[in-house]
Structure 1
Amino acid sequence: MSRDSHRPNKKKELSKLAQSLIAISALSPGLTMVVGQYSAVTLYVHAVMVQALAKQSADLPIPMPDCESVICFFRNTPRKLEQLRGIHNMLGISALATDNFKLAYREASRELDWTSPAAIATLSLGREEREASCIVLQQPAGAAPDIEGLLHLRRAAEAIGAYLILLCPDLIYDANSSSIPNELFVVAPCPPNPGFDEAFVFSCPELASPLNQASGKVLCCVRLTDDGLETEITPYVADDLKTRLMAILKADEWSLEEIGKLVGLNKSNVSRKLRMVFGAVPDGWDGAMLAEWLEACDLDPIDEEDSSAGDSDDEDGDDDEHQPDDWEADDDAGDDLDDLDHAKPVAPASRNERNTRNNDIVIPRKQR
């Protein structure tokens, strides 16, 4: 049976396997922390999380709350709040505001640490916020959360069955940070795909699987356009662009030899890097997009004329007139082994020709 006859069934099986490895459970009520050293892309991380919550979509394939309303609290000085409003308008977050999604801007003398007693007292969980609601908070850059404050926020959210998501852009993921919240997410910046401004990996350590490095992890690429923030969320493949490109080419039915020749690796290395990797071909994939990826990966572009250049030169006999006078001698120069591999056949000589050729040979006197 041919290879093509197996292709549809193979794709279907891989799709089922991929779906089983990224099975997602519901988010537990209580405290959810988003940790990592991602202060440089905090605004984008916040925007991606908020968009997924506001639309109640599965665009972000990590555990998300099944909530009835979403409230984002911002406490800062009047000048900082004005700046935040402008940023949220630019990112398109303000346009998401509905009865079930609110942006609460409250003035304060300074940006508050949400784990401090003063901030916890002003939050007043249970009065304005109700059961099955989701509250999104963001720690100030460089402020380490207080352990007692985190425990208080967790108990308060659990008591009313609410979901409290706290973004901590400067908290390193370790055993201490993972033992406090009900749920924990980790964010790590990485190089973006060609055409995007920034990118980060969003992961849930509890969903990690040794059989699939993409389990519980997604790649979020963002770019700012005139219409707001444009986001591309894809399954995680790798941090480096070259491996992502190889996964795309594999999904585009390139052979391992073709991929290796393009990226400068042998077939075994390509196979090893793409083991248990489930890539997908981006929408609108064409030669121009491939050239953009090759440039981003510092790879040489594909020369489409290489395959046809030799044939066109052989067919055109007039090209011989434009060669230099010694071109025939240059054609013979090269590796002797290559000459043996490509030896030209010699026509057999007749008996008279062989006799004539032998008479011309001078035999030394000692041999006579």
Structure 2
Amino acid sequence: MSRESHAPFKQKKLNKLAKSLPAVSELRTGLTLVVGHYGELIHLVHYVMVKELSMAAANLPVPMPDCSSVLCVQSGPLRQLEQLHGLRVQLGFSAPPFEKCQFVDRVASCALDWTNPASVSIVCRLNIVKDGGCVVLQQPAGQNPDFEGLLHLRRAAEKYKARIILFCPAVADEAKFSGVANELFVAAPCEPNPGFDEGFVVSCPELASPLSPASGKVLCCVRLGEDGLKTEITPFVADDLKTRLMAILKADEWSLEKIGKLVGLNKSNVSRKLRMVSGAVPDDWDDAMLDEWIEACDLDPIDDDSDDDDDGDEGDDLNDLDRANPVAPVGRNERNTRNKAGLTLRKQR
């Protein structure tokens, strides 16, 4: 039996294994760090994480636990805290999903570094920590946490079986802090899906797998409406919109040829790009939403009257090995002329 005959069965086994990876246990007790370059999106990342925590949802890479209460502590000058309060109202922190949340603003000359000894002692004395609850803190912009302070926070949370979540938007090297925290999330800005204002990816490096590049990652898209922030959390597919659109169309039972005609690739390149990608059709998917995606990807709609044999490959993929170089047909008279020339040369020899 040839090697090619085993390929479909092997791919089927890999897909089953990849689908089994996301089943993980809930957020551990102890210290959780949310690191990455997301300083400009800190309030949006904070909103999504706190909302999922308050609802004990399982939309993030690691399911959130069912906490009786969540305490969010902010610090800084009075005027800054007043602005922050107004922003929380605008984002919708007073909505029903946040019923479990309490918000405490601590006035100080500047935002507190929650890993210095004085701040650590404040956190460790909180009743919610001693009762095994959850505290959400935020490091000042541009300030890295202190290792010794992180260890003290971790020990306190482990002692009382509590959870302390610290947002660190200035930490770029997650590997440097991976051994300090009980849980680690990485947040990074990303192009949002059409119809949303901002987007970011939340990943858990511990769940990364070569069998599934999207394992342990989710895409969070948000838009601000009149009644607060609207969020959409979906499994991560790709950073670029075009690949996300291809995955949606494949899930919508489009043929590879038709997808390739839309995006300018042949079907084998489409197959390669979607080999380890699993997409889903969004809710309320219709022609209008498809047109919105096509416009966002800067593509031209498919002309139904166009030649079906034209795969539309513009040659922008280096892996395109599916086309053989065309060979010009040779006429009978030209072949006879070549043969006669060859015989004449042989006779002369």
> Which of the two has higher C-alpha Rg?
1
CA change 1:37–1:122 in 2 (3 A) is same
Structure 1 Cα separation of the partners of residues 226 and 233 of structure 2 = 20
In the TM superposition, what is the alpha-carbon distance from 1:66 to its structure 2 partner?
Answer: 3.6
CA change 1:174–1:99 in 2 (3 A) is closer
1:43 aligns with 2:34: no
Structure 1 Cα separation of the partners of residues 235 and 100 of structure 2 = 29
Could you give the per-residue CA deviations for residues 37-83 of structure 1, whole angstroms, max 9, x where no partner exists?
A: 11111111000001111112223342423422111011111111111
8 Å Cα contact 1:65-1:163 kept in structure 2? no
2:214 counterpart residue number = 214
In the TM superposition, what is the alpha-carbon distance from 1:92 to its structure 2 partner?
Answer: 0.6
In the TM superposition, what is the alpha-carbon distance from 1:16 to its structure 2 partner?
Answer: 6.8
In the TM superposition, what is the alpha-carbon distance from 1:273 to its structure 2 partner?
Answer: 0.7
What pairs with 1:154-173 in structure 2 (closer than 5 Å)? Answer: 154-173=154-173
Match of 2:130, SS?
coil
Structure 2 Cα separation of the partners of residues 234 and 210 of structure 1 = 20
1:153 counterpart residue number = 153
What pairs with 1:91-110 in structure 2 (closer than 5 Å)? Answer: 91-96=91-96, 100-110=100-110
Structure 2 Cα separation of the partners of residues 251 and 203 of structure 1 = 23
8 Å Cα contact 1:115-1:150 kept in structure 2? yes
Structure 2 Cα separation of the partners of residues 46 and 214 of structure 1 = 22
In the TM superposition, what is the alpha-carbon distance from 1:287 to its structure 2 partner?
Answer: 1.2
Match of 1:94, SS?
coil
TM-score, with structure 1 as normaliser: 0.76
1:243 counterpart residue number = 243
1:55 counterpart residue number = 55
TM-score, with structure 2 as normaliser: 0.80
What pairs with 1:101-180 in structure 2 (closer than 5 Å)? Answer: 101-180=101-180
2:188 counterpart residue number = 188
Give the gaps of 5 or more residues in structure 2.
1-12, 308-327, 329-349
2:338 counterpart residue number = none
RMSD: 2.4
CA change 1:224–1:15 in 2 (3 A) is farther
2:278 counterpart residue number = 278
Amino acid corresponding to residue 220 of structure 1 in structure 2 = C
Bigger mean CA deviation after superposition, 92-101 or 286-295: 92-101
CA change 1:113–1:96 in 2 (3 A) is farther
8 Å Cα contact 2:35-2:169 kept in structure 1? yes
8 Å Cα contact 2:57-2:63 kept in structure 1? no
In the TM superposition, what is the alpha-carbon distance from 1:291 to its structure 2 partner?
Answer: 1.1
8 Å Cα contact 1:125-1:156 kept in structure 2? no
Could you give the per-residue CA deviations for residues 240-293 of structure 1, whole angstroms, max 9, x where no partner exists?
A: 000000000000001111111110111111111101211000111111111111
Structure 2 Cα separation of the partners of residues 100 and 223 of structure 1 = 23
Could you give the per-residue CA deviations for residues 114-164 of structure 1, whole angstroms, max 9, x where no partner exists?
A: 111222232244534333311111111101111111111111111111001
Aligned residues: 299
Give the gaps of 5 or more residues in structure 1.
1-12, 309-336, 338-368
Structure 1 Cα separation of the partners of residues 98 and 20 of structure 2 = 35
Match of 1:262, SS?
helix
CA change 1:177–1:123 in 2 (3 A) is same
1:85 counterpart residue number = 85
Amino acid corresponding to residue 67 of structure 1 in structure 2 = C
Structure 2 Cα separation of the partners of residues 287 and 35 of structure 1 = 39
